[in-house]
């Protein structure tokens, strides 16, 4: 009814009302208190939203300016104080103290970064409590998943992950080529998500810990680390593709970009490479005499999934020639060393408006060139629904380890892939596996879907890995799994074939 009355008012009257409200501190402060109470509701974590902090500041000033003088007047010693007057004064005083403490603590939290649930000053969403359980498969050769809970990304999460892997005969550090993952002279590509800023990109605190762990190789690291991705030179937060140097990042310190992470390891061979720079340039391999940076087209579109497979070939900041598919190029000997090139696939867990879920497999969209594949008649982005990312993994370079960033997640069905600070919720989890299919299935079912239920979302079909309707996440996950399995890599969609170890 009120809204109808307002709509019936002439526009000039509405403007006058708005002008009066804006310039009347009494109305503005009162509105700030009402907004603070209404918006906070039963979730104290919302007190850290920027709008809530601004409302708290205005509300506390309003209470000081209007409520406190009124209390002093009512309870003035010079007046005859009856029981009703005393009761009213007591009630107003209690109200004043309560709101002062509430608003004061909110302002203090906004200044110090402290919150009631251990989220940071930069965490705008809710804290999601995910109850994970250990799983032990009775089948031979199961897929191992290692999960670390209670992490902010800027702690000992990677150390705990490495310890859990070591305890289950999957060493992170490899003393030789036959056992373990990272050798002391490896060239390591850390594939991150760079197309989106804020919580849409991979947590840079996590990447920094990962780089440090590589450099701390017990045999002494003599290799090189490259933080890389292809934002495709299109779409994304800027509308023009990815960036490794955003001003708003997924980290406790929002200014910490991937470039800042690389720069923090001064004197060591750590660099970045944004493949957007070369995504439109078609080149041949080094062995063919082409030394230019660019993208190699593997061949015609795949008969099963329709993707035209492409991959980057580039020279690093430190002069190393890398073919994502074939390995490290030795110009002197005219040969590739495939063993020396390792890929750590580090996606962020979130929903996707078209494909339901973004995790380890969908993350390989940032390996190929969407534009060159489109020109070749097999656009990589369109092929996701038919299992194309499984083909991309199988025919280029399969990740040596997938580390899923579920520290801040977007569980809103169809809400991703862009994710602002306000939209993200803190789950505080990282999980790793050599099997990207098992990891994505398990994470969607045990992290993303429970989080969505806690948020009150009802339509979870788009993120349900057991939903096999055409074009759904569960459908293209199975098609991708088939491509990966056919190439000889382990891939399972059955939780009975998974071991889950919680660190």
* 283's tokens: 């080149």
Residues 6+ apart with CB under 8 A from 246: 197, 201, 237, 257
Quote the distance between the C-alpha of residue 298 and its chain's center: 30
The per-residue pLDDT for range 72-120, each reduced to its tens digit, is 555 555 544 566 666 665 665 565 555 555 554 444 333 333 333 333 3
Question: Is the domain of 207 the same as that of 294?
Answer: yes
The per-residue pLDDT for range 339-359, each reduced to its tens digit, is 999 999 999 999 999 999 999
| Residue among 41, 42, 54, 28 nearest 110 (CA) | 54
Question: Is the domain of 101 the same as that of 203?
Answer: no
Boundary-marking domain end, from 91, 112, 133: 112
pLDDT of residue 10: 44
Boundary-marking domain end, from 112, 130, 154: 112
Tell me whether residue 130 is in a domain. Answer: no
Neighbours of 120 (CB within 10 A): 17
Please state, in angstroms and rounded to a whole number, the distance separating the CA atoms of residues 437 and 477: 7
The per-residue pLDDT for range 364-385, each reduced to its tens digit, is 999 999 999 999 999 999 999 9
Quote the distance between the C-alpha of residue 164 and its chain's center: 23
| Residue among 390, 490, 467, 449 nearest 499 (CA) | 490
Question: Is the domain of 291 the same as that of 349?
Answer: yes
Neighbours of 260 (CB within 10 A): 18
Question: By residue range, what is the domain housing residue 27?
Answer: 2-112
Neighbours of 299 (CB within 10 A): 11
What's the mean pLDDT in 321-325? 98
Question: Which position has the token pair 């203090």?
Answer: 108
Tell me whether residue 132 is in a domain. Answer: no
The per-residue pLDDT for range 436-486, each reduced to its tens digit, is 999 999 999 999 999 999 999 988 999 999 999 999 999 999 999 999 999
Band of residue 63 on the pLDDT scale cut at 50, 70, 90: low
Question: Is the domain of 341 the same as that of 424?
Answer: yes
What's the mean pLDDT in 208-235? 97
* 23's tokens: 């310039």
Question: Is the domain of 289 the same as that of 416?
Answer: yes
Question: Which position has the token pair 């995504």?
Answer: 279
φ, ψ at 95 (rounded to 5°): -60, -40
Please state, in angstroms and rounded to a whole number, the distance separating the CA atoms of residues 484 and 184: 28
- Paired with 127 in beta bridges are 426
Question: Is the domain of 320 the same as that of 416?
Answer: yes
Boundary-marking domain end, from 66, 95, 112: 112
pLDDT of residue 114: 37
Average pLDDT, the chain: 85
pLDDT of residue 76: 54
Question: Is the domain of 88 the same as that of 215?
Answer: no
φ, ψ at 47 (rounded to 5°): -65, -15
| Residue among 501, 391, 491, 393 nearest 440 (CA) | 491
Count how many domains the chain has.
Answer: 2
Please state, in angstroms and rounded to a whole number, the distance separating the CA atoms of residues 468 and 211: 38
Question: Is the domain of 362 the same as that of 422?
Answer: yes
Tell me whether residue 127 is in a domain. Answer: no
Question: Is the domain of 354 the same as that of 479?
Answer: yes
Determine contact, residues 196/236, Cβ cutoff 8 Å: yes
Higher pLDDT, 361 or 78: 361
Tell me whether residue 185 is in a domain. Answer: yes
pLDDT of residue 59: 61
Tell me whether residue 471 is in a domain. Answer: yes
pLDDT of residue 125: 72
Higher pLDDT, 43 or 497: 497
The per-residue pLDDT for range 135-190, each reduced to its tens digit, is 999 999 999 999 999 999 999 999 999 999 999 999 999 986 567 999 999 999 99
Tell me whether residue 131 is in a domain. Answer: no
Determine contact, residues 433/144, Cβ cutoff 8 Å: yes
Percent of the chain whose pLDDT exceeds 90 = 73
pLDDT of residue 49: 42
pLDDT of residue 119: 37
pLDDT of residue 175: 81
Band of residue 236 on the pLDDT scale cut at 50, 70, 90: very high
Tell me whether residue 126 is in a domain. Answer: no
Tell me whether residue 133 is in a domain. Answer: no
Please state, in angstroms and rounded to a whole number, the distance separating the CA atoms of residues 266 and 211: 12
Please state, in angstroms and rounded to a whole number, the distance separating the CA atoms of residues 154 and 144: 24
What's the mean pLDDT in 215-237? 96
pLDDT of residue 1: 41
Neighbours of 432 (CB within 10 A): 26
């Amino acid at each position: 009814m009120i809204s109808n009355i307002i709509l019936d008012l002439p526009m000039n009257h509405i403007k006058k009302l708005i002008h009066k409200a804006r310039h009347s501190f009494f109305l503005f402060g009162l509105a700030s208190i009402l907004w603070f109470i209404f918006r906070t509701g039963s979730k104290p974590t919302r007190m850290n939203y920027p709008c809530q902090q601004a409302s708290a500041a205005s509300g506390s000033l309003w209470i000081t300016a209007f409520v406190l003088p009124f209390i002093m007047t009512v309870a003035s010693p010079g007046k005859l104080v009856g029981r009703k007057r005393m009761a009213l004064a007591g009630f107003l005083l209690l109200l004043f103290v309560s709101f002062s403490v509430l608003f004061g603590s909110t302002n203090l939290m906004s200044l110090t970064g402290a919150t009631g649930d251990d989220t940071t000053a930069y965490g705008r969403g809710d804290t999601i409590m995910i109850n994970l359980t250990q799983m032990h498969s009775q089948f031979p050769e199961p897929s191992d998943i290692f999960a670390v809970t209670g992490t902010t990304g800027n702690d000992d999460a990677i150390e705990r992950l490495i310890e859990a892997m070591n305890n289950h005969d999957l060493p992170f550090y490899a003393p030789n080529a036959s056992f373990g993952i990272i050798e002391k002279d490896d060239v390591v590509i850390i594939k991150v998500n760079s197309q989106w800023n804020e919580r849409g990109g991979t947590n840079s605190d996590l990447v920094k810990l990962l780089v440090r762990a590589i450099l701390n190789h017990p045999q002494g690291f003599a290799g090189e680390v490259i933080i890389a991705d292809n934002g495709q030179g299109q779409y994304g937060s800027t509308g023009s593709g990815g960036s490794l140097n955003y001003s708003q990042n997924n980290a406790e310190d929002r200014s910490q970009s991937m470039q800042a992470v690389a720069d923090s390891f001064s004197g060591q061979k750590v660099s970045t490479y944004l493949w957007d720079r070369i995504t439109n340039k078609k080149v041949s391999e080094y062995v063919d005499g082409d030394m230019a940076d660019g993208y190699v087209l593997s061949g015609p579109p795949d008969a099963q999934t329709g993707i035209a497979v492409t991959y980057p070939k580039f020279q690093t900041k430190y002069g190393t020639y890398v073919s994502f598919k074939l390995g490290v190029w030795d110009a002197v000997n005219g040969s590739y060393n495939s063993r020396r090139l390792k890929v750590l696939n580090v996606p962020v867990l979130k929903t996707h408006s078209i494909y339901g879920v973004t995790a380890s497999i969908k993350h390989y969209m940032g390996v190929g060139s969407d534009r060159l594949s489109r020109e070749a008649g097999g656009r990589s982005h369109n092929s996701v629904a038919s299992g194309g990312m499984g083909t991309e993994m199988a025919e280029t370079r399969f990740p040596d380890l997938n580390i899923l960033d579920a520290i801040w997640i977007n569980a809103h069905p169809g809400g991703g892939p862009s994710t602002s600070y306000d939209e993200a919720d803190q789950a505080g989890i990282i999980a790793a596996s050599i099997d990207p299919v098992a990891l994505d299935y398990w994470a969607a079912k045990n992290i993303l879907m429970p989080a969505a239920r806690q948020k009150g979302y009802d339509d979870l079909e788009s993120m349900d890995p057991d939903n096999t309707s055409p074009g759904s996440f569960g459908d293209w996950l199975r098609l991708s799994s088939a491509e990966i399995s056919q190439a000889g890599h382990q891939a399972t969609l059955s939780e009975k074939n998974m071991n889950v170890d919680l660190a």
